[in-house]
């Protein structure tokens, strides 16, 4: 495979060092001002302003708070680059000088870095447009964390209003070392399903439990029994994760409540496994309520879903080859499938793309500095990762000084692997 994308990337980014101070300032500003899903107004405005200044035709409020920038640069393919914008409802504990100024909200998944890499790549390609041809379509997406943003932008006519891409590209930062790139053709990430379970009871005085049906006890039994779906009903070779992320009931110690509430998250790597686990959750929840003498069956509602992330082998191979030419063969790792989930695949799915599927490629790039990686306890990568706060942790803190140029390089190389 040709080394041309790597060579062109070096040419496009030869002046990146001079632009890094302003990009670092953007990253730190976004980190200090995180915005949760569907409220990414400030972030979207920052992205839109930078894209417009770089010469893109910019449209805001696509699918809510989404931003689309299109740069047409002669004949060639349409390449979509996607970055997500939303933050998480987590109180930051990193101690960074540019830590979140918004109480209870934090960029704990690196979307601030994703947006900055997206802007840096778009600006670099716009500055050096003589080195490539085609159409660059830059998408700053809202509401990834709740799995709604990609579908909302597509439902708002993303491809009909702008252009239908020939390839869709995206990336995600992780806690492994800066300079590392994780690729995998085919299945990269799992599907995710979120469930609400409402457990009915009969409330009353805490001193008179015999007159009540205590939904807290039922919920406690249910939480522990649900884990047997994985440990006793699932083959070890069939990757499944079932997590109870929320357990809520009651308002006072001496009051037995009328209801308990659970929020469950399920990760699977096949439709068959998902259907089997959902049926098991329903069976066990209904049985626990019946065993407790609950006044009615539980209410079980699917509230959110993420699809499988499936990399097109050809698109992924082209990107992986470009990354190998830039970062070295030892830095490009094939790993997975991972149990995390993304809504990125919607951009390439046939049902959403208006016809045949669109080839897509998604990869991970490292965010931990070499010094922090060396200081982490343990000898193996697995041991070190246990000592480094990862995504969705209140102490997650990618090293912007080194991860930012690596992320821009990775995304630029991926675009040039497909642009003419």
- Mean residue pLDDT of the chain comes to 96
244-287 per-position pLDDT tens digit: 999 999 999 999 999 999 999 999 999 999 999 999 999 999 99
The CA-atom distances, in angstroms, between 4 and each of 204, 327, 360 are 73, 14, 21
pLDDT given at position 3: 76
Tell me: the pLDDT tens digits for 17-67? Answer: 999 999 999 999 999 999 999 999 999 999 999 999 999 999 999 999 999
Of residues 35, 144, 166, 316, which has the active-site annotation?
A: 144
List 40, 86, 112, 342, catalytic entry? 86
Domains of the chain: 4-190+308-416 (3.40.630.10), 191-305 (3.30.70.360)
Catalytic residue list contains 144: yes
The pLDDT of residue 1 is 43
Q: What is the mean pLDDT of each run of 10 residues along the chain (420 residues)?
A: 82 97 98 98 98 98 98 98 98 98 98 98 98 98 96 96 97 97 97 98 98 98 98 94 97 98 97 96 98 98 96 97 96 93 94 80 98 94 94 97 98 96
Cα separation, 290 vs 239, whole angstroms: 30
Q: Does 156 qualify as catalytic in the annotation? A: no
């Amino acid at each position: 495979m040709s080394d041309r994308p790597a060579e062109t990337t070096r040419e496009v980014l030869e002046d990146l060092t001079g632009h890094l101070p302003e990009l670092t300032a953007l990253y730190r500003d976004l980190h200090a001002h995180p915005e949760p899903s569907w409220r990414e107004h400030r972030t979207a405005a920052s992205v839109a302003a930078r894209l417009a200044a770089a010469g893109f035709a910019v449209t805001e409020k696509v699918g809510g708070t989404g931003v689309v920038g299109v740069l047409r640069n002669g004949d060639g393919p349409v390449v979509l680059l996607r970055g997500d914008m939303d933050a998480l409802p987590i109180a930051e504990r990193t101690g960074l000088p540019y830590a979140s100024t918004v109480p209870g909200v934090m960029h704990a998944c690196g979307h601030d870095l994703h947006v900055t890499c997206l802007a840096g790549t778009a600006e670099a390609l716009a500055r050096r447009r003589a080195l490539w041809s085609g159409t660059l379509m830059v998408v700053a997406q809202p509401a990834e964390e709740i799995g709604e943003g990609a579908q909302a932008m597509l439902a708002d006519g993303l491809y009909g209003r702008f252009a239908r891409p020939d390839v869709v590209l995206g990336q995600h930062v992780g806690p492994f070392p800066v300079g590392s790139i994780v690729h995998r053709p085919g299945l990269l990430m799992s599907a995710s399903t979120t469930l609400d379970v409402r457990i009915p009871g009969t409330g009353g005085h805490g001193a008179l439990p015999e007159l009540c049906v205590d939904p807290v006890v039922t919920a406690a039994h249910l939480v522990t029994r649900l884990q047997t779906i994985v440990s006793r009903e699932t083959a070890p070779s069939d990757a499944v994760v079932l997590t109870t992320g929320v357990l809520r009931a009651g308002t006072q110690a001496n009051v037995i409540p009328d209801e308990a509430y659970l929020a469950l998250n399920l990760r699977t790597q096949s439709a068959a496994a998902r259907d089997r686990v959902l049926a098991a959750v329903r069976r066990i929840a209904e049985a626990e309520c019946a065993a407790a003498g609950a006044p009615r069956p539980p209410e079980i509602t699917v509230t959110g879903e993420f699809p499988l992330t499936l990399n097109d082998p050809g698109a992924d191979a082209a990107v992986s080859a470009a990354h190998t030419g830039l970062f070295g063969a030892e830095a490009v790792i094939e790993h997975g499938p991972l149990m995390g989930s993304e809504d990125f695949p919607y951009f390439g799915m046939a049902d959403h793309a208006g016809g045949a599927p669109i080839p897509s490629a998604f990869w991970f790039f490292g965010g931990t500095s070499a010094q922090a990686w060396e200081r982490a306890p343990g000898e193996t990568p697995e041991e070190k990762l246990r000592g480094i706060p990862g995504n969705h942790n209140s102490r997650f803190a990618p090293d912007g000084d080194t991860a930012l140029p690596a992320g821009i390089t990775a995304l630029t190389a991926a675009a040039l692997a497909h642009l003419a």
